[in-house]
Amino acid sequence: MLDVQRFRGATHREEINFARKFMWAHMIFGAVVITMFLFHEIFWWFAGATLWYTLSLAVMYGFMNERKYCRWLLALVFLAGAGAGVLFINHVFPGIKPPRGPLIPHVVVPIWVGLANLTYVIGALFLLFNPSIRRAGQVGFTLW
């Protein structure tokens, strides 16, 4: 039994390593997005981004445990985050008054939010169409 657990998914080692790196990149980049909202003192969007990130981690856990629908759901969560970013840039950000002494100037907000949107749309496309990620989700894997 221990050998089965030790070599679980050994035939798909390259796919699993790619999927691990993909999931780690999401965890790091999502935390950076949340931190940027905090540093810009946009607290409602900080709270929303935190909820989105928590939901994405829960769905990511399901994907790593061989639940096929979680791959599609995680792609949907990524697209929802990108859509919220587009809404933020187009409707919310123009009406925000910058605080007196922000840690990061408000001029860079559209740049990093736009990059985050683009990154998560590309990530959703990877989740939907990359065969390596699909195979890793079918076999199941851990982050380490």
pLDDT recorded at residue 74: 97
pLDDT recorded at residue 54: 98
pLDDT recorded at residue 8: 56
pLDDT recorded at residue 1: 55
Torsion of CA 9, 14, 19, 21, to 10 degrees: 130
pLDDT recorded at residue 6: 56
At residue 120's C-alpha, the angle toward residues 17 and 90, to 5°, is: 170
Domain boundaries of the chain, sorted by first residue:
14-139
Tokens of 79: 């697209």
Q: Quick one: 141 exposed, middle or buried, by C-beta within 10 A (0-12, 13-18, 19+)?
A: buried
pLDDT recorded at residue 11: 59
Cα dist. 76→28, 70, 72, 120 in Å?
19, 9, 6, 10
pLDDT recorded at residue 12: 63
User: In order along the chain (144 residues), what is the average pLDDT of each group of 10 residues?
Assistant: 55 85 97 94 95 97 93 97 96 87 83 96 96 91 87
pLDDT recorded at residue 98: 80
